[in-house]
Amino acid sequence: EAAPDAAGFQLGVATYSLREFQRGLAIRMIAKLGVTRVSVKDFHLPYTSTPAEITKAVSDFKKAGLTIVSGGNTDLKSNDPADLRKYFVYAQACGMPMLVTAPLHENLGAIEKLAKEFDIQIAIHTHGPEDRNFPTPKVVLDAVKGMDPRMGLCMDVGHSMRGGADVVQEIVNAGPRLLDVHFKDLKDGKVKESQCDVGEGVMPVVAIFKQLQKVGYRGSVNLEYEINSDDPLPGMLHSFGYMKGVLAGLAG
C-alpha cells in the first residue's frame, strides 16, 4: 500500500461491483484485490438490517481487514425528513462517515440539516446525461455552494465524462467539496455501454491521479466495476493492476 499513501489518497472498491454475490463471498473476492477500503452497497448491508445484523456485517468487513469508508449509492429522493433520517440512523449504526447519495434539489436543505446533526458527509453522485437531478459535477457544485462543508461531490468519472465534463478540471473546480470518487473507464466517452477495464479506454487515468495528488485529495478512489457482473474479478484485478501501476509511477 506504499504508493497510495504517497499519493495522499487510497484505492478502494464500491461493493456494487460485486452485486451478484452475497456478502461473505464478496468480501473474499475483495480480499484478492489487495485494497482495504470499501464503499458498501445496501445489497451487502441492507437498510432493513436489525442492530444485531449490522454488528455482524460490520464485523465481517473488519475481520477481513476492510475499512468501510462510505455507504451507497443511496437514493435520498424523499421530501419527508423522517424518511430521510432512517438512512442517517443506518449510516451511523454502520459506522459510515459518508453516504454517497442521489438526492433531489428540493430536499438538499433537509439533508444538510441531518448531515450536521449526525456529522455524516453527503457525497452527491453524478449519474450522467440520463440523470435529471445531478448529471454532472458542475450541477452538484452549484447546488451545494454555501452549504455545510459536509455536503459535497462524489464524482463518478465515467458518468461525468458522458455528461460532457472535463473530469480533470472538475477536480480543481470541486476543491474540498470533492468527497469521493467512483472510478471506471469507457472505450467511448459518450457511450454508457462502452465501459471497459480501467486502462483500456479513453479515461485520462494518469492526469486524474496527478490532479488528485496536486489538490491534496485525501479520500478514496473507489473502483465501480459495472460490467461482467457474473464474473467481475478478472476485470477488477486487471483494473486495479493498472491503477496501482499509475500510482507507483507517480510515487517513483
pLDDT of residue 252: 81
Q: How far is CA 118 from CA 42, 81, 149, 219, in A?
A: 19, 13, 14, 20
Cβ atoms 155, 170 nearer than 8 A: yes
Q: Which residues pair with 195 in a beta bridge?
A: 186
Q: 6: which 3 cell numbers?
A: 504517497
Mean pLDDT value across the chain: 96
- Helix, strand, or coil (residue 106): coil
Mean pLDDT of 117-128: 98
pLDDT tens-digit map of 145-181: 999 999 999 999 999 999 999 999 999 999 999 999 9
d(CA 175, CA 155): 12
Scanning the chain, the segments in alpha helix (DSSP H) are 2-7, 23-31, 51-63, 81-93, 108-118, 137-144, 157-162, 167-174, 205-214, 233-251
From residue 114, give the alpha-carbon distance in Å to each of 51, 89, 120, 196: 20, 10, 8, 37
What percent of the chain is modeled with pLDDT above 70? 98
Separation CA 167–CA 15 (nearest Å): 23
123 falls in which pLDDT band (50, 70, 90)? very high
pLDDT tens per residue, range 70-117: 999 999 999 999 999 999 999 999 999 999 999 999 999 999 999 999
Kindly report the pTM of this predicted structure: 0.96
Q: Does the pLDDT at position 6 exceed 80?
A: no
Q: Are 76 and 102 in contact (CB under 8 A)?
A: yes
Distance, in Å, from the CA atom of 230 to the CA atom of 201, rounded to the nearest integer, reads 21
